Amino acid sequence: MNNKMKRIIGIDLGTTNSLSATVFDEGPEVIGTDGDFSVTPSVLSWTGSGWLVGQEARERRITNPENTVYSIKRLMGRSLDELSETVQDLPYQIVEAQRQLVKVRIGESKPYKEFTPQELSAEILKKVKQRAEEALGESVEKAVITVPAYFDDAQRQATRDACRIAGLEVARFINEPTAAAIAYGLDEKRDLQKDGHVVVYDLGGGTFDISILKLSGKIFKVVATHGNTQLGGDDFDQVVVETLKDRIHQEHPEAEFDDPESKHILKKTAEFIKIKLSFSPETDYSLDFSKKSMSFSGVFKLEEFESLIAPMIEQTLESCRHVLREANLSVKKIDEVVLVGGSTVIPAVRKQIESFFGRPPHVAIDPYKVVAIGAGIQGHLLAGGRRDFLLLDVIPLALGIETLGGTFSKIITGNTTIPIEESETFTTNVDNQTSIDVNIFQGERELIKDCRALGQFKLRGIPPMKAGLPLVEVMFRVDANGILTVSAIEKRSGKKAEIEVIPFHGLTQFEIERIMEDSFEHAVDDFNERQLIEFRQTAERVFRGIEQCWDVAENDLSETSRDEIQKQMDVVRQSMKGQDSQALKTQLDVLGDLTRPLADNSMGRSILSELQDDANLNQ
């Protein structure tokens, strides 16, 4: 990459995991060390004064469920009403704030701490950004962020606000399946001369998207896209959770599972069952509710799991039918099916896709990495690194305004290539009317009650005229990021009318600035606190590692060395009780040096290499 060019990374901000990618000299790749460590779990845990993010937070889902927040993506840009079903599955509290905004509430009694999904999402972005900066050895200011294709305007705006709070400039939003198609379309293994229609089937943790793209030469054009922002692998877990509850109820009719710990244990077991059943026809499971001193075990059969998730897979196939219809294509015209998202590794999902499209899906690209890599390639293009392909993306759902009788009047139709500008002229209903309320909606239905309210504005300053005379032109502009801006003008007077947009589910500029100031003030404290918790967890893990190979250590270490290690472990324990994160780090490093000879031992090596990774992670 040449020096003058400022790198733009790609970030896959997922419901379950987030990761970044960029184009290196060797080609596009995920940023970070190999293996699981390049992924940041999209989980946060409140420590009392700041957030732990990623792996450390995920571990606290067991020990600290009520302060640990996950699946934030499902909350972005949505109101409490819309979330009523989602909220029941989550162990943390969600409350309603101003303008239909929701907030996550932390703490069991007053004073509560409350955070918007935008702020929480920003914490994840900050972590991903920081890890990318460490791995690349340079600062990162801009990123291509992927969003589900079926994200509406409010959800995109919320994501943009999260980026602003995290100090990241959004170079471009691209739809997740489109990002996957870029990675696939530019994959070396593919015959680049071969044009055709590609379907991207993207089933992640919380969202489902289906897109059809036409690849012709340098241009990747999204033909149609459809999906469901509230369907994913989490729902598969949920049906298993319900089945487990039913089974337990047969033995313990009085059992309740509404506390965070029970919810977490059930969820964890459901995930375990789901993963096991991807490899075997049945699996044992056991649940241990220690706080209730109750335990339960059983066998889960693949058949049962498959019949439980069948209706949800059918829902995704219904979307496939819909999108083929929109694109005016038959299944036979599809040249390739690309799978994206963790849930597509489930054999039942693959089987159904194969039988629907009549061909085995393309699985050569890692379904976990493909979205981030596509975003990284797009970032490279935007930074000026290449000019040899172009992505033409669409706006998934129609945009328009409310007209008489609660009908939805579309100004921009769904699946239109962006950027786009369209306008429509309206008039007044009453003599001498000087203002008009414009209510903006997004959706594919005929009536506004079935569409999503995005916001409203009042058009003021219309000169008094007879009803029907004023010509009010409302202009909708959707930029290349898929984000809408609306303006209006009264044409007869030539006077540009004043407009005032009040976004629903969104943050105002003022609120974003306040959040940024707050987070800056607390940054130093938070940092020490966060490091302290991270190092404490590392220490726990190091202790476990030492214990595990202590017996064989006799062969590798002299008695003096073993004494020294024991003593140093006590020093570290002492340090763990203190508040100085740097002191703890220093003592941990000493312990690391002392235990180094263990690394020569074959058994110790695997354990210590894990410790080494932790140390790298925390530097």
User: Catalytic site residues?
Assistant: 12, 73, 176, 202
CA proximity to 461, closest of 425, 440, 488: 488
Return the biggest CA–CA distance within the chain: 100
Number of residues located near other proteins, criterion CB under 8 A: 30
- Could you tell me which residues are beta bridge partners of residue 28? 23
How many CA atoms, within 13 angstroms, populate the side-chain half-sphere of residue 540?
A: 9
Which own/partner contact pairs does 556-560 have at CB distance under 8 Å and 24+ positions apart? 556/597, 556/598, 556/600, 556/601, 556/604, 557/597, 557/598
By beta-carbon proximity to other proteins, the closer residue of 386 and 466 is: 386
Peptide bond into 111 cis (omega under 30): yes
Burial class (CB in 10 A: 0-12, 13-18, 19+), 388: exposed
Torsion of the alpha carbons at 126, 132, 137 and 138, rounded to the nearest 10? -60
Quote the CA–CA distance of 207 and 227 in Å, as a whole number.
8
Q: Are 277 and 305 in contact (CB under 8 A)?
A: yes
User: In angstroms, what CA-CA distances link 203 with 78, 152, 180, 428?
Assistant: 20, 18, 12, 46
- State in angstroms the smallest separation of the CB of 168 from other proteins: 15
User: In angstroms, what CA-CA distances link 289 with 92, 111, 250, 284, 285?
Assistant: 19, 30, 16, 17, 13
Q: Binding residue for other proteins (CB under 8 A) from 172, 274, 362, 410? A: 172
CA proximity to 8, closest of 124, 134, 121, 169: 169
By beta-carbon proximity to other proteins, the closer residue of 361 and 419 is: 419
By beta-carbon proximity to other proteins, the closer residue of 446 and 518 is: 446
- State in angstroms the smallest separation of the CB of 109 from other proteins: 49
Peptide bond into 419 cis (omega under 30): yes
By beta-carbon proximity to other proteins, the closer residue of 218 and 466 is: 218
- State in angstroms the smallest separation of the CB of 217 from other proteins: 8
The torsion angles phi and psi of 377, rounded to 5 degrees, stand at: -65, -40
User: In angstroms, what CA-CA distances link 595 with 362, 588, 603?
Assistant: 46, 11, 13
Strand order in the sheet with 51-53: 51-53, 43-46, 68-70
- State in angstroms the smallest separation of the CB of 321 from other proteins: 6
Q: Binding residue for other proteins (CB under 8 A) from 218, 514, 522, 567? A: 218
- Could you tell me which residues are beta bridge partners of residue 220? 215, 391
By beta-carbon proximity to other proteins, the closer residue of 216 and 574 is: 216
DSSP-assigned letter for residue 360: P
The mark string for 309-328 relative to other proteins (x by CB under 8 A, - otherwise) is: ------------x---x---
- State in angstroms the smallest separation of the CB of 387 from other proteins: 6
Q: Binding residue for other proteins (CB under 8 A) from 1, 6, 64, 282? A: 6
Burial class (CB in 10 A: 0-12, 13-18, 19+), 298: middle
Enumerate residues 464-503 that contact other proteins by CB under 8 A: 477, 479-480
Enumerate residues 355-394 that contact other proteins by CB under 8 A: 378, 381-384, 387, 390-392
The mark string for 133-152 relative to other proteins (x by CB under 8 A, - otherwise) is: --------------------
Q: Are 87 and 80 in contact (CB under 8 A)?
A: yes
Enumerate residues 505-564 that contact other proteins by CB under 8 A: none
The mark string for 274-313 relative to other proteins (x by CB under 8 A, - otherwise) is: ----------------------------------------
- State in angstroms the smallest separation of the CB of 420 from other proteins: 5
By beta-carbon proximity to other proteins, the closer residue of 382 and 448 is: 382
- Which amino acid is residue 195, in one-letter code? D
- Could you tell me which residues are beta bridge partners of residue 412? 399
Given the rule CB under 8 A, which of 22-30, 217-225, 367-375, 530-538 is the region that contacts other proteins?
A: 217-225
Torsion of the alpha carbons at 245, 246, 248 and 253, rounded to the nearest 10? 110
By beta-carbon proximity to other proteins, the closer residue of 8 and 248 is: 8
Enumerate residues 403-442 that contact other proteins by CB under 8 A: 416-422
- State in angstroms the smallest separation of the CB of 459 from other proteins: 20
CA proximity to 529, closest of 63, 49, 45: 49
By beta-carbon proximity to other proteins, the closer residue of 383 and 399 is: 383
Rg (CA), the chain: 27
- State in angstroms the smallest separation of the CB of 542 from other proteins: 45
- State in angstroms the smallest separation of the CB of 390 from other proteins: 6
Q: Is 216 in the site for other proteins (CB under 8 A)?
A: yes
By beta-carbon proximity to other proteins, the closer residue of 172 and 362 is: 172
- State in angstroms the smallest separation of the CB of 283 from other proteins: 36
CA proximity to 156, closest of 399, 366, 343, 494: 399
Where do runs of H (alpha helix) occur along 409-508? none
- State in angstroms the smallest separation of the CB of 605 from other proteins: 47
In which element (H, E) is residue 153 found? helix 153-165
DSSP-assigned letter for residue 258: -
Quote the CA–CA distance of 103 and 415 in Å, as a whole number.
32
By beta-carbon proximity to other proteins, the closer residue of 383 and 588 is: 383
- State in angstroms the smallest separation of the CB of 480 from other proteins: 4
By beta-carbon proximity to other proteins, the closer residue of 216 and 297 is: 216
Both structure tokens of 238: 């949920």
- Which amino acid is residue 99, in one-letter code? R
DSSP three-state, residue 21 = strand
By beta-carbon proximity to other proteins, the closer residue of 121 and 352 is: 352
Contact residues for other proteins, defined by CB under 8 A:
5-6, 8, 171-172, 216-219, 321, 325, 378, 381-384, 387, 390-392, 416-422, 477, 479-480
